[in-house]
Structure 1
């Protein structure tokens, strides 16, 4: 599969411009189903790009994008976007009942052990607080079903939770 990066895209800022066509010029993605990458942890961004390139994670657009990236490109793009400020998506906090349910789920699944306080993540673990709601919900479902199979531990963990739990968790995290 050919890369859609222009052959002349020499520097990372130029390659990042292509990323902005979906992930947003100011860090706000053009669609709720697309994740925020501005301010995301560099290690996580690198691993996801690598997994798209290897086929361990698939998406029609991202798999093609990653094909033309070298390891150095992926590392540089991850670092570039991690240094950007996390955008304000203007998402509303979850209502009290939803937040309470989500907090129970997060406590029982021990989410903060990896995603840390405030669900900001670190290194290879993504920030999930204030992430796009629809992206979060689709990701939780894809992880639970095994469709997103680049983290088997998360797949097994999410199997314990219902779709209503996923909805509550996505609403809560998006509103943080």
Structure 2
């Protein structure tokens, strides 16, 4: 009888432990689902531009909106913070960024950093086509690789963007924005980038942007529907 009682107690303990584990798994699953839903609600405002392949902005000039899937989370976060503070001038982006908390920015940035890989993007090639002598000279003059890294896809710090494969018209518009001064709605306030970019003519910026855009890249636009 005593042995049977011991077995019963042991079985009860096992069943109790199993139930506890099941409850913990269910709680974790529910939390993950809630977290996923929360992130989806945060990126909903991004999808209208960054979730449509080939989507073009008309401000401050017509250009494709940047691909942000696969971009560094730290850079996306820094960019959103700069828009919120007005260091990057863009009325639409500032209006959106100012509604975001620090946690929102962290969640959105992490989401887009992982999105390209989740959509099946592969690692970029280690060997790339070399630029023309003229473009190589321009890139060296601007010391571009010193921050944006090997093949312009491996920045030395996550707060710098991957440039390889980005839309050339966006790169050109972004580079020009560092040359802009005194405009209340256009321009980017980064002293290092301004110092580098102001060395170049618009024709030279276009040449660099075209080469950088031709390089293999992890960046993607992952099509998404607002009505999921």
Structure-1 separation of matches of 2:132 and 2:187: 26
Structure-2 separation of matches of 1:99 and 1:174: 14
In 2, are the aligned partners of 1:101 and 1:165 still within 8 Å (CA)?
A: no
Structure-2 separation of matches of 1:78 and 1:47: 9
Equivalence map 1:136-175=2 (5 Å) = 136-146=171-181, 147-175=186-214
Report how many aligned residue pairs link the two structures.
158
Which of 51, 54, 59 is the aligned partner of 1:24?
51
- 2:163 match: 128
- 2:220 match: none
The unaligned stretches of length 5 or more in structure 1 are: 1-9, 89-94
Deviation at 1:54, TM superposition (A): 1.2
Structure-2 separation of matches of 1:40 and 1:100: 28
- 1:102 match: 135
CA RMSD of aligned residues (A): 2.2
The unaligned stretches of length 5 or more in structure 2 are: 1-36, 57-62, 122-128, 216-228
Q: 1:68 to 1:59 in 2, by over 3 A?
A: same
- 1:13 match: 40
Structure-2 separation of matches of 1:13 and 1:80: 9
Structure-1 separation of matches of 2:214 and 2:180: 24
Q: Name the TM-score, length of structure 1 as normaliser.
A: 0.81
Deviation at 1:159, TM superposition (A): 1.1
Structure with greater Cα Rg: 2
SS in 2 for 1:117: coil
Q: Name the TM-score, length of structure 2 as normaliser.
A: 0.63
